[in-house]
A = this chain, B = another copy of it.
Amino acid sequence: MMRTHYCGDLNKTHIGETVTVCGWAHRRRDHGGVIFIDLRDREGIAQIVIDPDTKETFATAESIRNEFVLKVICKVRSRPEGTVNLNIPTGEVELLASAIEILNPSLTPPFMLDDDSISEMIRLEYRFMDLRRPMMQNNLRLRYRVAKVLRDFLDENGFMEIETPMLTRSTPEGARDYLVPSRIHAGEFFALPQSPQLFKQLLMVSGFDRYFQITKCFRDEDLRADRQPEFTQVDIETSFMNEEDIMAMVEKMIREMYKKVASIDLPTRFQRMTYLEAMYKYGSDKPDMRVTLEITELTDVMKDVDFKVFSSAATMKGGRVVALRVPNGSAITRSEIDAYTEFVKIYGAKGLAYIKINDVNELNETGLQSPIVKNIHVNALKAIIEKTGAANGDIIFFGADKEKVVNEALGALRLKVGHEKNHVDGRLWAPLWVVDFPMFEHDEETDRWVAIHHPFTAPKEGHEDLLVTDPGKCLSKAYDMVINGWEVGGGSIRIHEEKVQSKVFDALKISKEEAKEKFGFLLDALQYGAPPHGGLAFGLDRLVTLLAGAESIRDVIAFPKTQRAQCLLTKAPNAVDEKQLRELHIRLRTPQPTT
């Protein structure tokens, strides 16, 4: 071993020892004829002192620049009085060099490691430098600890990690597949898995009883801030457990993980909420429960008011009118309201009506300061005040549109105003289970029911007949874990009976032939002794981003893609040789000049 110690591990207990350390010259200072080098390795920084008496060593030290790779033999000693630095673990000692070897020099780095203003483009292009920064070192170490602690928990609970294929079958629904042309089978393609869903269900049919896998999944979607073409899932499936058993077990897993990697105590029982309540009160199926603001339903109240924006939303099919009361919000300025109005437009809202409450007892334009008050009759005004519980000094914002627009716009506004105006309950961590999801949502465009989770989700006890009679009312045995407004995990009890699976395909208007073509092996498997089973999957990238307090999931991934799905470091994707395409039996639609 070239080194005897990591730099960051040295402290008073090593005083007097001769040690060998290896690392990067983080900074060099010349001070009073002496050279100081902060030597950095993954465990921290130690101060090397090079005395001018050691001529050769000193000459070497003089040639050292930032990021040179060094091996230093040195003696650990106390720092002189007045130079002790208690901010770093090694701050009580310094290392007097007796020999320095430059293992590799470095060009001048493209940026300073402690410069936080570097654009993400540059950081991704020089990722091998960016990853030297303490933030990235800490994030990836945290990511590893999270995965390790989850693996250990699952191992202790009898789960086995089993690898499922990366080259699998394309089943075009849900997100777009990444395809891989087959060389041996002309005209055919593999798909990269969107999740191991079908394989993990087959493993249950095979009797493995408790499966997990930490694995890559792929979705060729238009990328949003927190999406990557490839992402990592902590995938879990068990047999002979119901939803309560599963939720209790993974809740314990997440609690232990938070405790072990970050010394955070999550509540001993996570809050539960139905999907319906979440949508009604928070406009979202993943509400951030730290925010204390709530949405109030006003659809019935607004059916007959003169203000057409409200009354037409309240009376149209699938319309909704709601209020968001912000206590003490009447201090919110005109320009802030304008900014909030622009903000809700992102979600499709056409505007943002509001009322500032001057006096709850004066139901007119004096007591209720707003352009819309004159067009709302007094009974409706009374109902607004009563239902929202508004008090003098509050502001009430309104949403009125199709349900989806209202929920997204007011749900987002709730978070924005809540965090900006400090309507939060002070908790750092607010975990939550959302349950009782509908099985299906109606797709207007195709006039079809589509699965909210996936078509293998089991209906809630007693809801099986609704699959046929009223699919929209049918609830599922699905559950999502939400932390601070992020959906970190989700799953369900799966259908284990072929006859129920067929009913779901019927409700989704998937024909017998289509089902057989796409999922024939699963339908087969359900007929050969499939046990009751269920599970869930956590998004590892999100779990770690949340724990790290990172701004983007790209900051917890070693080599991420940009939002344009490119790797700036390796310049992937790239053009390939014509010969490769020929072997794969494909050609480009618009041939490019060959490289």
Contacts and interface: CB of A to CB of B under 8 A. Distances in A.
B140 A179 contact: no
A586 B585 contact: no
A132 B167 contact: no
B107 A165 contact: no
Interface in A138-188: 140-141, 143-144, 147-148, 151, 155, 160-170, 172, 176-188
Interface stretch (A280-288, A384-392, A405-413, A526-534): A526-534
Name the residue in A24, A69, A526 with the highest tally of chain B Cβ atoms < 10 Å from its Cβ.
A69
Contacts of A178: 167, 180, 190
Interface in A39-77: 40-42, 67-69, 71
A338 to B, nearest CB: 35
Interface stretch (A364-372, A452-460, A474-482, A562-570): A562-570
Nearest to A232: B163
A590 B192 contact: no
A191 to B, nearest CB: 8
Interface in A1-54: 1-3, 22-24, 40-42
A137 interface: yes
A339 interface: no
Interface in A554-589: 557-559, 561, 564-567, 569-577, 580, 582-589
Given A179-B584, A208-B140, A572 B190 contact: yes
Question: Which has the most chain B C-beta neighbours within 10 Å: A169, A561, A570, A590?
Answer: A570
B182 A573 contact: yes
B104 A497 contact: yes
A81 B120 CA distance: 76
B532 A2 contact: yes
A586 to B, nearest CB: 5
A212 to B, nearest CB: 10
Given A183-B176, A570-B169, A1 B245 contact: yes
Interface string A353-382: 000000000000000000000000000000
16 contacts: A22-B239, A104-B496, A104-B530, A127-B202, A132-B206, A144-B162, A148-B161, A167-B573, A168-B567, A170-B572, A170-B576, A182-B565, A185-B573, A190-B573, A585-B589, A585-B590
Given A42-B207, A165-B567, 8 more contacts: A69-B532, A106-B529, A131-B202, A131-B207, A167-B178, A169-B570, A170-B580, A184-B565
